[in-house]
């Protein structure tokens, strides 16, 4: 009785374990049909008890797992316990991953079926797959990163490192794993001391960020960015080190290039204006501390723009390079030589002894620059004008010294070029006057302060006036008359000459019609055209417009361009001159003899007349060389079948000399000073000049 009770109680325990097992539990007969199922089986399969007890397990198994599942079932029927994974199809059609344990039912030595316990591992497998994918992705990223990633376990000294480290150091991953400190042997000698110091700090628990150089196994110098982070446990003990090493050689190269661009002149390789100012600031601090003097020299090549325009910018650039090389070879290493821009250079000289010391250097530079330069088989001679300022005599700031040197340089140019000047306070006053004149000139047109005076151009054979040269005059409301010699260069420099030149052209055309209607019917007006004005793209169109607006006959208008202006971009000049010729306008080459015109080009220019510069006329009866030049020019014009006009004739002896040579057209004070339009009536009463 007691035994039966125990067996009954035991069966209740088994049934309780079976029924309330959270995993699907079931019994299959030897054919694979369900005999017993628990509630969890219903949930797992989506089928009712009646459905399951009336079917075999085979229809539940997804086809791709059926063969393996049957194999394990048969092995269980042979008395073997099996644990395996399979996939069933839920009643709603979705797949369910199972982890199955199959145990044979053995009664009195015979197998009567199989007990199965199935755990739903669908979600677990999904997570595991995602982890595997993530791990694979991370591994791929780790392997494909172009940065070196590493980790070092402090306890085991297990060292893992990414393949990119091979590219950076030229060392294989295996070599790193065998000797993880091998990276220290590649540190650039100049950076070793600092890196070793930082390395000790990392071992002490500090993070490390730095940029340093290595010499890789193939001998290349590389810049690296290094970041190391000690990883600590909850107690604050270091358990490992993680690090990232990036090759930043490209970035450093860009930074170096940008530094060069920011502080070095691209054409000559000399320090540029910004770098010169930095060096000057530092030099001033030294000079103030040591109570010494320093000098700033400002150099500007004379007439370089003319050379540049004539030869082309490529040749001009090459000449600048030759000049900079010559300056560098002349001065010692302690001297700072800078290209300020264009054809301007500056020089910083420290520890100046006295004025004689500076004068000696300036004279030496003038001599060095003047030596002939060889370029493309030709020889060229350049000159320069130099301005000098001295600390502390003239200024105590970098800007002040540069400004004073620049002012002195302008005075050197005005003194005849190929010269040097040391700053004095009077120069500032002169430049202040120039600035005031420039500002007033901006308003001169709108205030009607400008007017034209006219000087007769005379045919000495007939003693008749052929035409008049238009000459601008400026009467300021407060300052009175301002000399053209003062304001014309300022107008040229500031480009105000362009609107002023347009006003002159229009006014001359209007007033020419007036005087032709009042006593001078067949006389032309000759207008000076500045180089800046002529270089304007729409200059010819502007002339056409003015002719139309003033109803001016083109043959009564002549234009004078200087010899220097005619040599700028000769081909373009010829095109414009031919267009003017087509309009019926004659062009006169002014100031002939003062420029560098080539006779071959002169023949190409559509010019029928030239003017002998008055500087040569003044030399008649005083300088045989000047007389010889005048004779040559007049003889040349006859050969070229050109008319010639002598300007600046003031003496009867000059008149007679010119007539003997066959030059009969002249202008100058001997005949008449420039007069306003209002004085034409008086001139008309005395037309025999």
Q: Band the pLDDT of 582: cuts 50, 70, 90.
A: very high
pLDDT at 660: 92
Q: Taking the mean position of all CA atoms in its chain, how far away is CA 651?
A: 59
pLDDT at 1 over 50: no
pLDDT at 296: 94
- Give me the phi and psi of 644, to 5 degrees please: -135, 140
Measure Cα distances from 626 to 201, 418, 596, 619, 620 in Å: 85, 22, 17, 5, 7
Proportion of the chain in helix, strand, coil states, percent, rounded to 5: 50, 25, 25
CB 511 within 8 A of CB 525: yes
Rounded Cα distance between 558 and 525, Å, is 6
Pairing outcome for strands 609-612 and 586-592 = parallel
Reported as a single tens digit per residue, the pLDDT across 229-279 is 888 888 888 888 888 888 888 888 877 777 666 778 888 889 989 899 999
On average, the pLDDT of the chain sits at: 84
pLDDT at 262: 72
Task: Provide the token pair at 171.
Answer: 């060392």
Rounded Cα distance between 595 and 593, Å, is 6
Task: Provide the token pair at 540.
Answer: 């010819």
Q: Whose CA is closest to 126, among 91, 84, 94? A: 94
pLDDT at 4: 39
CB 72 within 8 A of CB 102: yes
pTM of the prediction? 0.48
pLDDT at 247: 84
Measure Cα distances from 86 to 57, 129, 132, 202 in Å: 12, 16, 19, 52
Q: Whose CA is closest to 300, among 438, 213, 405? A: 405
pLDDT at 165: 80
Least confident of 110-124, 323-337, 420-434, 665-679: 420-434
- Tokens 């049909």 -> residue: 33
Pairing outcome for strands 373-375 and 420-422 = unpaired
Least confident of 36-50, 86-100, 225-239: 225-239
Quote the Cα angle for 182-186-188, to 5°: 150
Reported as a single tens digit per residue, the pLDDT across 540-550 is 999 999 999 99
Quote the Cα angle for 471-473-477, to 5°: 170
pLDDT at 302: 85
Kindly state the average pLDDT of the residues 276-296.
93
Please give the DSSP secondary-structure letter assigned to residue 554.
G
Residues with Cβ within 8 Å of residue 576, at least 6 apart in sequence: 534, 539, 540
Rounded Cα distance between 512 and 556, Å, is 8
Kindly state the average pLDDT of the residues 432-458.
87
- The CB-side HSE value for 371 (13 A sphere, CA atoms) comes to 10
- Tokens 């540049």 -> residue: 308
Q: Band the pLDDT of 121: cuts 50, 70, 90.
A: confident
pLDDT at 163: 80
Q: Whose CA is closest to 340, among 303, 373, 389, 301? A: 301
- Tokens 């040197």 -> residue: 405
Task: Provide the token pair at 539.
Answer: 């200059």
């Amino acid at each position: 009785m007691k035994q039966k009770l125990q067996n009954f109680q035991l069966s209740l325990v088994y049934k309780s374990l079976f029924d309330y097992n959270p995993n699907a539990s079931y019994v299959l007969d030897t054919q694979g049909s369900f005999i017993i199922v628990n509630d969890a089986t219903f949930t797992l399969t989506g089928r009712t008890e009646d459905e399951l007890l009336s079917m075999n397990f085979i229809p539940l198994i997804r086809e791709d797992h059926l063969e393996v599942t049957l194999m394990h079932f048969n092995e269980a029927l042979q008395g073997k316990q099996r644990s395996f994974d399979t996939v069933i199809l839920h009643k709603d059609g979705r797949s369910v991953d199972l982890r199955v344990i199959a145990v044979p039912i053995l009664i009195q030595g015979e197998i009567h079926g199989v007990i199965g316990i199935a755990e739903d591992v669908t979600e677990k497998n999904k997570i595991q797959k995602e982890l595997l994918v993530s791990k694979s992705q991370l591994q791929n990223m780790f392997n494909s990163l172009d940065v070196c990633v590493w980790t070092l376990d402090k306890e085991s000294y297990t060292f893992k490192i990414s393949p990119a480290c091979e590219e950076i150091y030229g060392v294989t991953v295996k070599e790193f794993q065998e000797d993880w400190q091998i990276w220290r042997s590649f540190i650039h000698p100049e950076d070793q001391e600092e890196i070793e110091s930082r390395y000790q700090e990392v071992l002490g628990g500090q993070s490390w960020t730095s940029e340093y150089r290595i010499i890789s196994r193939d001998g290349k110098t590389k810049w690296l960015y290094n970041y190391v982070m000690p990883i600590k446990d909850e107690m604050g003990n270091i358990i490992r080190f993680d690090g990232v090493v990036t090759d930043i050689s490209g970035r450093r190269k860009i930074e170096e290039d940008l530094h060069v661009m920011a502080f070095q002149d691209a054409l000559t390789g000399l320090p540029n204006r910004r770098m010169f100012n930095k060096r000057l600031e530092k030099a001033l601090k030294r000079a103030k501390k040591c109570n010494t003097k320093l000098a700033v020299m400002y150099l500007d090549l004379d007439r370089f723009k003319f050379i540049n325009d004539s030869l082309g910018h490529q040749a001009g650039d090459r000449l600048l390079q030759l000049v900079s090389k010559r300056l560098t070879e002349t001065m010692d290493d302690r001297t700072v030589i800078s290209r300020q821009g264009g054809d301007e250079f500056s020089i910083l000289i420290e520890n100046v002894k006295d004025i004689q010391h500076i004068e000696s250097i300036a004279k030496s530079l003038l001599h060095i620059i003047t030596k002939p330069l060889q370029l493309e088989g030709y020889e060229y001679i350049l000159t320069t004008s130099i301005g000098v300022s001295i600390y502390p005599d003239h200024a105590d700031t970098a800007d002040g010294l540069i400004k004073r040197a620049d002012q002195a340089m302008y005075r050197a140019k005005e003194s005849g070029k190929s010269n040097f000047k040391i700053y004095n306070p009077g120069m500032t006053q002169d430049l202040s006057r120039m600035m005031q004149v420039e500002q007033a000139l901006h308003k001169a047109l709108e205030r009607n302060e400008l007017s034209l005076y006219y000087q007769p151009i005379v045919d000495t054979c007939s003693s008749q006036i052929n035409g008049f040269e238009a000459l601008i005059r400026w009467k300021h409301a407060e300052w009175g008359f301002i000399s053209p010699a003062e304001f014309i260069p300022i107008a040229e420099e500031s480009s105000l000459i362009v609107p002023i030149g347009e006003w002159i052209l229009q006014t001359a055309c209007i007033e020419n019609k007036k005087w032709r209607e009042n006593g001078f019917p067949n006389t032309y007006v000759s207008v000076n055209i500045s180089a800046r004005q002529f270089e304007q793209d729409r200059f010819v169109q502007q002339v056409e417009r003015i002719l139309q607006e003033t109803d001016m006959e083109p043959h009564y208008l002549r234009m004078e361009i200087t010899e220097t202006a005619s040599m700028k971009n000769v081909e373009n000049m010829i095109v414009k001159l031919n267009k003017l010729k087509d309009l019926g306008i004659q062009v006169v080459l002014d100031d002939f003899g003062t420029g560098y015109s080539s006779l071959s080009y002169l023949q190409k220019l559509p010019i029928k007349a030239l003017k002998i510069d008055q500087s040569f006329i003044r030399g008649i009866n005083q300088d045989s060389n000047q007389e010889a030049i005048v004779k040559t020019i007049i003889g040349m014009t006859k050969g070229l079948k050109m008319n010639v006009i002598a300007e600046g004739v003031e003496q009867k002896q000059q008149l007679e000399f010119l007539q003997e040579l066959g030059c009969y057209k002249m202008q100058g004070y001997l005949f008449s000073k420039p007069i306003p339009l209002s004085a034409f009536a008086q001139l008309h009463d005395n037309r025999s000049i």
